[in-house]
Chain A
């Protein structure tokens, strides 16, 4: 619903100023300061050791891969990587924080001064990124499912999982922009392979800073921080609510309190959690157990070279190279694995354009009809590539491909499996290009045909050569070999025949020896229902 607000409506007199702090878990196999697994969902406290349990005497040792992933993420977010960054302790007491401090970065973060392009109603807009820093995750407090209502249990499997915190500039001017920013951020990070950004599993978490100010004012209003929001949609909703709330307070002559607020998605409202006076003094100081993190030019260049092609560039290239539509490019690049598969399939296939064509014309429609996302397609890109090659070589016809695709969707099986299970069908109907060529070749060489019929076996090679030539070398030689073989005797009208590759009996209705074909009618039990023309060479057992 769109409302047209009168020009003096309070909402038009104020503008929101939004900045986001996003925490993203990195996809390293082991934790940031020890060699425990980062696997999600294991039994509580099984992926732990003296280091991530914060036992007395244990010391952190930095995970090289975490640094690589963090630096890579910072690079694709356009940040400048600092040659020297420093880990710092953020001190506070919380039961799931085993050391009583979090190892983070403070005044010398890993990377600074970046930004990403975000689509808005007025075209793309750059949202600045103030900093990206590396830190460790805390454990998890579990409040439910224990005897006694006030029991809390602690799971430290998550303690020490590497995180990056991405802090945006207060460049975001609306809840919708915040939503788009988060989507773009997620897309880039997932693409880069540094995180799965799975909000349900907590691998992406977001806090929002929001203030409003009269339009035209250059100084910022007092901000509130909204925490604990667990979906992009809720962030948009929470920001909408908070903007209205702050404007209402100001319009009523009140002032905004600097505070931390929690969002309750059931009610769609934010609630005060603690005010500035109650805010923690984290007593940051450099972590003495870790040396400063040095990333010299050589190491930065190494990491730079690991940068993948980002979605925007990839889409443009796929459109240019494979001639697919912008819409299909968007679908094919919706995740990196799919895009990689598509590219690999397209490159491996004899004709890349055919792969793109099959995806567009055969795959997308079926997926849409079934309501499936492409990552859940029964036919993988490898399947598409195989089918494209089979059509390309003439082994199967376009009609057969459609049938096989239908079967794949029906059985939820990939193309190669279905193709094997149906006995590697070869194209066999008279509509096939190859049989047409064979007939044309026989028709064009009546003298040789007569001699061939008369028993001159050596002419077989002649006909094979002619057919191969006519098909510009594209035909399956084995098939050509069989299709041009002399049949022994020509069937007569009324003969009961079988057709190679089909079950059941057929009756010959008419014979066209000139074109080396016969019209046959399926009898009871035959796996075809229509009168059809078949090559004489496919008719057997008469």
Chain B
């Protein structure tokens, strides 16, 4: 990437050297949002007061000549599924259209403690359910690279904001590919860490065993810096992992020569767009040229990943979304009886895709169907994870396309849920197995649409995939 854009390091040195104030930077981003976001639709809510207060605090530190925290003054956007105290958080749903959370998501709190300026909340598919951002209750997001196309989803607003320079970086969430697929569609970097690496406390749950928070940035180095900030165990999340957090930023500098890279034929089969295949194969050659050893591996259960994912994810979602009942907060429809209130609230408050997934999830958990669907899906999930365990005895990382095609047009798949679900075909496996995965840009189609390269790693080995991604990014 040679484009002229701001990185985290650039922001920090500019502020430290007093060439720029955080307040001016923040105001310039709000101006940019004001100018561009009308046609893109990345932001749902702007948190101007919170942002300017934070920027002023950073400026005060800089004025005193105090050393600045690592992310001082960096303007970021937060996907609207992470709760922010006092700032409306909607999860892209009418159900939470007026919901002001009383507490902060751990990842957001850690970012702010490191100095970031939160510009606002980013559009997404309702409750993170979708692959095009067309399921937002507010408005669809347009891909900044081609406004007639989707930015991907569900973190479409996050990808579009970073791609369009309306934030230096963003936090997204990934349940089946929701960080990597939009990163790929918008030509940015998206990292889904290992399950348990980043606390989920304050992330509005879609599917608890699959939900991940991760950075969406312009560069691999920025992704490493953000991960460094948000990673690590959290007493508020029992599934956050106690493993020590390595130095990711130092880690990416290590040479990649001699690393073994797996290529699995299961990710290059039917449905893979020719241009995407060519670009990914070229990227693999580039890695070989950097001294990596290319090794064929097999992930035989890959074909079951999408159905497995849609059983596990919808089952958990059907339960996670039960709390939106109109009783305590959020949208409430008036009705004469309690059951009437429940029905009308959930009928009017949820969009079509969310209702579809709640029904699917309710069905697979029902008495008499549990064993055939949910239990079997969990067994397949174990087999999928074992595929990766086996492959990682032979290789250090696995490289695949992030998506089978580049960004599709708005409306192209919105009436065909199955076609939409297949947009996640290469990304759901990492969520099901809980392994880390990153998507980085690896060229463009003839129509100038970005193509994404996905690198998968071993559990808690974000360092290796960041290292490879950084080496590729520098070489490309």
Contact = CB atoms under 8 A, between A and B. Distances in A.
Interface of A: 50, 53-62, 89, 91, 93, 95, 98-101, 154, 281, 283-285, 288-291
B406 interface: no
A288 B209 CA distance: 5
A290 B238 contact: yes
Contacts of A283: 318-319, 362, 365-367, 370
Interface string B195-215: 000001111110111000000
Interface in B167-220: 200-205, 207-209
Interface string B309-335: 000000110110111110111000000
Given A283-B366, A285-B319, A289-B239, A59 B338 contact: no
Contacts of A60: 238
Given A58-B103, A100-B319, A290-B238, 15 more contacts: A54-B328, A55-B103, A56-B96, A56-B323, A57-B83, A57-B203, A58-B201, A59-B201, A93-B325, A100-B321, A283-B318, A283-B365, A283-B367, A284-B365, A288-B239
Contacts of B202: 57-58
B412 interface: no
Query: How would you classify the secondary structure of chain A's contact residues: helix, strand, loop or mixed?
Result: loop
Contacts of A59: 200-201, 236-239
Given A56-B96, A288-B208, A289-B239, A91 B327 contact: no
B235 interface: yes
Interface in B336-371: 338, 342, 362, 365-367, 370
A54 B236 contact: no
Given A61-B236, A93-B325, A281 B319 contact: no
A61 B240 CA distance: 11
B89 interface: yes
A288 B316 contact: yes
Nearest to B196: A291
Query: How would you classify the secondary structure of chain B's contact residues: helix, strand, loop or mixed?
Result: loop
A60 B240 CA distance: 12
A93 B327 CA distance: 10
A54 B205 CA distance: 11
A99 B239 CA distance: 19
Contacts of A54: 323, 328
B453 interface: no
Closest 10 CB pairs of A and B: A100-B322, A288-B208, A283-B365, A288-B209, A57-B202, A56-B204, A57-B83, A54-B323, A100-B323, A281-B367
B366 A289 contact: no
Contacts of B82: 57
B3 to A, nearest CB: 35
A286 to B, nearest CB: 8
A60 B89 CA distance: 21
B336 to A, nearest CB: 9
Interface string B21-32: 000000000000
Nearest to A60: B238
A98 B370 contact: no
A152 to B, nearest CB: 8
A272 B207 CA distance: 38
B102 A50 contact: yes
A98 B328 contact: yes
A226 to B, nearest CB: 23
Nearest to B211: A288
B91 interface: yes
B34 to A, nearest CB: 29
B374 interface: yes
Contacts of B315: 285
B52 interface: no
A89 B374 CA distance: 14
A56 B319 contact: no
A285 B208 CA distance: 12
B203 to A, nearest CB: 6
B249 interface: no
Interface string B83-97: 100000101000010
Contacts of A91: 318-319, 322, 365
A291 B325 CA distance: 27
Given A285-B374, A291-B238, A56 B322 contact: no
A63 to B, nearest CB: 11
A53 B328 CA distance: 9
Nearest to A61: B238
A150 to B, nearest CB: 9
A57 B204 contact: yes
A59 B89 CA distance: 17
B280 interface: no
A50 B82 CA distance: 14
A143 to B, nearest CB: 12
